Structure 1
Amino acid sequence: MDIDTDKIDDAVLALLQLTLHDGNRAWKGHDWDVMDRLYQKGLIHNPANKAKSVVLTDEGLRQSERLFEVLFGHSKE
């Protein structure tokens, strides 16, 4: 099976909403390959440090909020 890594990246970015704290920081307990791709896409700052959390960029924060609603929100029907 071919894996769509962009969909995985979107899901992880959305899940970062669950551990969001201090405005734009989230715990980085996700796969390192995904975190590196999010960094390469400019959605998080460099995750390769000793901190247990990662800082989302302004765009990453906007995308994370949007994707969380799209993937996990209830439809308003």
Structure 2
Amino acid sequence: MDKTNPEKAVKELTMLLMYLTRFNGRGHLGSDLDMSWKGYDFDIISELDEEDYIRQGSRRSKSVVITDEGMKLSRELLAKYNILDWK
């Protein structure tokens, strides 16, 4: 198995932690949103936002929305790191 470089691992594990600690929030249009708190490295948060895995909206907000692509990536990362998903 190939080793993952530290920078990539931090990014992947941040995405995984946001996925595993997500909560359901209601959007201003009444839609369900998978959200997570922003308590992670701001540079990583910005990279994930630029890659459309999350949306942080205002830089001052304390939470992010996990996009459909972010949910898909997170599930792939669960398999990569051999972590069970919530039931």
Q: Do these two structures clear the TM 0.5 threshold for a shared fold by scoring above it?
A: yes
Q: Deviations over 1:16-57 (max 9, x none)?
A: 123211051011100000000001111111354333210011
More strand as a share of residues: 2
Distance 2:80 2:16 in 1: 9
- 2:10 alignment partner in structure 1: 8
More helix as a share of residues: 1
Cα RMSD, aligned residues only: 2.1
Identity %, equivalent residues: 28
- 1:55 alignment partner in structure 2: 65
Q: Which structure ranks higher in relative contact order (CA pairs < 8 Å, sequence separation ≥ 6)?
A: 1
- 1:68 alignment partner in structure 2: 78
- 1:17 alignment partner in structure 2: 19
Q: Name the aligned partner's letter for residue 30 of structure 1.
A: Y
Distance 1:70 1:50 in 2: 32
Structure of greater Rg: 2
Structure 1 gaps, min length 5: none
TM-score (norm 1): 0.74
Q: How far 1:66 moved relative to its partner?
A: 2.2
